[in-house]
Amino acid sequence: MTRKTLRALILAVVLLVTGILVQTLHASGPPAGNKKTTITARKASAKSNRHKKRAYKNKRRHAHKVSRVKRVSREKALTVLREYLPEYADLHEAKTASSATPFLPVPDNFDTRSPFASPALRYDLVKNINTWLGTRYRYGGSSKRGIDCSGFTSAVVSSTLKQAFYGSSRVQASRFIPIFDTDSLQFGDMVFFTGRNKRADRIGHVAIFLGKGVFAHSSTGRGVLYSHITEGYYTERFRWGGRFMSSHYVSAQAEVGSAN
């Protein structure tokens, strides 16, 4: 056997052994390090899937809860109104009423400086409130998909008085001379409450007063409905009311007219 033939034979043996080793490694799986990486990746994937499933369940649970609250609020939205101001509830259910229909009488001591001395504006205010009844509460919301307390009062007042009325409950409260006595409140007044902390003075909730203790608002737990100021939660948190004045209303309308 020549030297050249021997070298060729040795090379062939080396290649054969190398091929066998490669096949053995593939058959036995990845090295320890790669195997560990694969296991980690699988765990991460499983954890991600669990989070997705949990998020999906929470989303469905939340949607069910929201729809349930919305149905309850629609059914009960008029309960307080029917009890204390049945003529207002009749207006909500009437199909032929208009701003020219005599309704919603006010007491003799009604402050006529309020724009709501006008029967037409009283009608419009109730009508605009009722278009929101049953809408669920949503913090920062301003649409029929969800609305918070200041978003609700902003939408109703702006639509009724035909002038912009925006801002948080605290900003809205700062625009009025406080009325601290609930017996002095009248139709169309704004009413302001603290938030969850009943001992705080910081305003955290706002509503629209209609009379006999009844007010309309967007409640955190029940959405837009009518409530009564003697309910314990609101009695403890009431801070003051505020009244729109016709002078402000007229001047604002004049400014809008001149701008146009």
Q: Which residues are catalytic?
A: 149, 205, 217
Bridge partners, residue 191, by sequence: 207, 241
Instruction: Count Cβ atoms within 10 A of the Cβ of residue 160 and give its class: 0-12 exposed, 13-18 middle, 19 or more buried.
Output: buried
Q: Where are the beta strands (DSSP E) in 89-148?
A: 142-143, 146-147
Closest residue by Cα to residue 133 from 81, 168, 85: 81
SS3 state at 81: helix
Bridge partners, residue 214, by sequence: 211, 228
Instruction: Count Cβ atoms within 10 A of the Cβ of residue 126 and give its class: 0-12 exposed, 13-18 middle, 19 or more buried.
Output: buried
Residue 165: both structure tokens together: 């009325």
DSSP 231: S
Nearest-angstrom CA–CA distance, 80 and 215? 9
CA angle 117–79–225, rounded 5-degree value: 65
